[in-house]
Amino acid sequence: MSSNTHDQYEWFGDYGQYPPRPGHPPQPGHPPRPFHPPRPSHRPPPASPPRVPARDNTELLRLRSAYRWLRRTMTVTVLAYFIGYLAMAAYLPGLMDTPLFGALNLGVFLGLMLIPLTVLAVVSYELIARSTIDPAAHRVRIADAERREGEESR
């Protein structure tokens, strides 16, 4: 065993030192920027707003309202069931203790029914979105592409 405690911890000697950075050629017209990330390569946002505001686009309004309705309906459905379950558990413990079959009582059954109800809400959300929201989104994309093509041809 070493009598000098510094000898035991020599492996700390290189702690905190980083290897040298690879050399990158400086960009023309810019001084080198040590320890900074490279500049982003994306284009700046357009200088002028779009010609047709989004609130004037009726297809986009329909898409937003359909999406909002669907999102709120599914959320309220699952939350209403859950809040009803919690209220029954808090205020009607005798009813929730009612045996249904075997050792399963009403409270456990209603609690377990949260899982299929949530799955049903997710599946119905997906099906309704495919039939109502996706076609509206497709129409909005087509209209936007046609508008951009018209602007580029000018």
Can you give the pLDDT of all 154 residues of the chain as single tens digits? 555 555 555 555 555 565 666 666 555 666 655 666 666 666 666 666 555 555 566 778 888 888 899 999 999 999 999 999 999 999 999 999 999 888 899 999 999 999 999 999 999 999 999 988 888 888 888 888 888 888 777 6
Question: Could you tell me where the DSSP H helices lie in 34-133?
Answer: 58-91, 93-96, 106-112, 114-128
What is the pLDDT at residue 143?
81
Would you say residue 62 lies in a domain? yes
Taking only the tens place, the pLDDT of each residue in 44-64 is: 666 665 555 555 667 788 888
Would you say residue 63 lies in a domain? yes
What is the pLDDT at residue 135?
86
Taking only the tens place, the pLDDT of each residue in 88-106 is: 999 999 999 999 888 899 9
Predicted TM-score (pTM) of this structure: 0.55
Tokens 């809040």 identify what position?
83
Would you say residue 127 lies in a domain? yes
Would you say residue 22 lies in a domain? no
Residue 63 burial by Cβ neighbours in a 10 Å radius (0-12, 13-18, 19+): buried
Owning domain of residue 90: 55-153
Residue 57 burial by Cβ neighbours in a 10 Å radius (0-12, 13-18, 19+): middle
Would you say residue 101 lies in a domain? yes
Whole-number CA gyration radius for the chain: 31
Would you say residue 12 lies in a domain? no
Would you say residue 45 lies in a domain? no
What is the pLDDT at residue 133?
87
Max distance between CA atoms of the chain, in angstroms, equals 85
What is the pLDDT at residue 24?
61
How many structural domains does the chain have? Answer: 1
Would you say residue 100 lies in a domain? yes
